[in-house]
Amino acid sequence: MPQTFDLILKHGTIHTPGGSEQADIGVTGGKIAAIGTALGDAGEVIDCTGLDVLPGCIDSQVHFREPGLEHKEDLESGSRAAVLGGITAVFEMPNTNPNTDTAERVHDKLARAHHRMWCDHAFYVGATADNAEQLRELERIPGTSGVKIFMGASTGSLLVDDDDALSRVLASGTRRVAIHAEDEGRMNARKDLRVEGDPASHPVWRDDESAMIATKRIIALARKARRRIHILHITTPAELEYIGANKGIATCEVTPQHLTLAGEDAYPRLGTYAQMNPPIRSAAHRDGLWHWLNQGVPDVLGSDHAPHTIEEKAKTYPASPSGMPGVQTLVPLLLNHVAEGRLTLRRFIELTSSGPQRVFGLTGKGRIAVGYDADFTVVDLKKRWTVGKDWLASRCDWSPFEGMDLTGKAVGTIIRGHRVMWEDALADAAIGEPVRFEATQFG
């Protein structure tokens, strides 16, 4: 019996847990209500002929800089860049000013985000030695994506680097803890290896061993605490091999930057614009990440979108800040890797949709299935285009990928049945809501 829906996406190639097929999707009340053909009528019909309809892509690591650092980015501008790039939900990091490390500050971010952010969202709580015992309650606030630990100093003042404090953080709570794994002690001892004016010395200072020591330490501490962890922005093949042997306790993330850029080219061409933490490393490192990605070890892709202004990046290394924008280019960069045969579309979907759902316990997101949120990233896999400055929406107004020729682009971002972006045009208003998690939805 034909039905009437709020929205039907027609004639696209849809990607469900069972595989890809030519079918229509009916949406009612922001949820997927039916999948099939000749579904019926709808208040809105979107013709997806020649397009692929993917589950909504989720970027589980962004820094949108609000509050306190809005000259670089804010929740509105960062989320606008996200939906223009095909992202339907983001998890935002706590190294703001002030840090997001109390219940009051979490609720402040949620209030700032409500229908001002273009995409759905969740916020990390920053771990400190002072709030360790409160994290058990803080991670249960609806709209939080969990706890974040910085083992190595990066942008901001959050740092938990000694084993006692790390153990106290891991003992407080049950949700998976996100980790920035670089060893602060080793990096402090190697600061004299930084060469003034030469950002290519950045990966010499923050070397492979700085990452590996921290990764081994946090996995050992997590095993002792019986606490699941998620290690962010992995940059070395050795770490992925080690995490692959410790999957019972650790999941992990890789970034498009580390899968795309190589230091031999990036530092001479981009200078401090290639500077981030952990660093862009060699082509051999990049190729090693691809090896382990195709062995199935990384669980998610995150952009680690971390913008700084052009004026800040123009400072002489090492006074220049680490970080680069990336939320808007995550989907197109990886679709280009699909087009060039390095990645299958199925693996891309796993890393950006079903992987985040599995790792973080999302409710109603991560797949095209009846009853799930009607979140879709609609892509043209064959579109050839060039990343231009006029397309970029981040307040920082630059990208390390500007001028890059790509194949594959998101042409539509649909969130809970709302067409938020179509062919680079935004909807009239932002409709972002907090992401729901299994761990917090019942209070």
pLDDT of residue 154: 58
Cα distance between residue 307 and residue 303, in whole Å: 11
The reported pLDDT for the residue numbered 158 is 84
Nearest to 123 by CA among 64, 55, 182: 64
Q: Quick one: pLDDT at residue 441?
A: 81
Q: How many domains are there within the chain? A: 1
What is the predicted pLDDT for the residue at 245? 98
Two structure tokens written together for 253 = 């993330």
Structural domain of residue 287, as residue ranges? Answer: 57-360
Residue 105: inside a domain, yes or no? Answer: yes
Q: CA–CA separation, 166 vs 350, rounded Å? A: 30
**Residue 22 forms part of a structural domain:** no
Which residues fall within 8 angstroms of residue 400, CB to CB, at 6 or more apart? 257, 261, 266, 270, 273, 274, 324
- Find out whether 418 and 427 touch, Cβ atoms under 8 Å: yes
Q: Does residue 223 lie in a domain region?
A: yes
CA distance 390 to 309: 17
Instruction: Please check whether residue 139 lies inside any domain of the structure.
Output: yes
φ and ψ of 305, to 5 deg: -55, 115
Tell me how crowded residue 310 is: count the other CB atoms within 10 A of its CB. Answer: 10
Q: CA-to-CA distance for 323 and 280, rounded, in angstroms?
A: 11
Per-residue pLDDT, 152: 84
The answer to whether the CB of 92 falls within 8 A of the CB of 58 is no
The angle that helices 75-84 and 103-113 make with each other, rounded to 10 degrees, is: 60
- pTM beyond cutoff 0.95: yes
pLDDT at res. 155: 56
Q: Is residue 115 in a domain?
A: yes
The rounded distance, in Å, linking the Cα atoms of 91 and 118 is 13
**Residue 309, CA atoms < 13 Å, CB-side half-sphere:** 7
CA distances to 20, 187, 227, 404, 427 from 213, rounded to whole Å, are 42, 11, 19, 35, 47
164 catalytically annotated: no
From 304, 373, 375, 380, active-site residue: 304
CATH of the domain at 115: 3.20.20.140
> Going by C-beta distance under 8 Å and a sequence separation of 6 or more, which residues neighbour residue 296?
none
pLDDT in tens, the chain (443 residues): 568 999 999 999 999 999 999 999 999 999 999 999 989 999 999 999 999 999 999 999 999 999 999 999 999 999 999 999 999 999 999 999 999 999 999 999 999 999 999 999 999 999 999 999 999 999 999 999 999 999 987 555 689 989 999 999 999 999 999 999 999 999 999 999 999 999 999 999 999 999 999 999 999 999 999 999 999 999 999 999 999 999 999 999 999 999 999 999 999 999 999 999 999 999 999 999 999 999 999 999 999 999 999 999 999 999 999 999 999 999 999 999 999 999 999 999 999 999 999 999 999 999 999 999 999 999 999 999 999 999 999 999 999 999 999 999 999 999 999 999 999 999 999 999 999 999 998 75
